[in-house]
Amino acid sequence: MSAQTPTHPALSKVLLDENTIKARIRELGAQITSDYAGRRLMVVGVLKGSVIFLADLLRTLGAELDVEVDFVAVSSYAGKNSTGAVRTLLDLRADPEGKDLLLVEDIVDTGLTLASLTETLRAHRPNSLEVCTLLDKPDCRKIPIQPKYVGFRIPNEFVIGYGLDYDERYRQLPVVGVMRT
């Protein structure tokens, strides 16, 4: 992971280019396909940030997998700062009881949102529950939580692109970069 010249005026530097991201997603997809072979997998995307990562990840999963997709939406940020309070905006439509759940996140930083979500999902009595995140910022952790599948560990900087936003902007950027201040 090396910083590159910014491709957009909102970026001070690029942390992950498009090819690097796509290659790692293929690796994650192969691992998930292997780990869930012969099982029924319910992939749960956390809206809105995970949607680009989720779409790319789903395309890398083996066709032999029995995959169901659902979404949740939560809010815990105001601008660049975590509010510390997690609000559920959209809950699952399908019943996850007895299914293997894979929660797909764009980024894990403080762990507060992820802890709240996993607690809520465990109450539905899934067979198993694991987390896949594109980005992990372990230096920001307030709760000791570790996703099973991690795309990239990144430094404690505010990043945008590839689904991550600042006030609903910049999600469409094909790279992950540090936002210019």
Active site residues: 109
CB 143 within 8 A of CB 112: yes
Query: CA 125 → CA 13, 66, 106, distances in Å?
Result: 42, 19, 24
CA dist 167 and 15 (Å) reads 20
Strands (E), the chain: 11-16, 40-47, 66-78, 81-90, 100-108, 128-136, 149-153, 159-160, 176-179
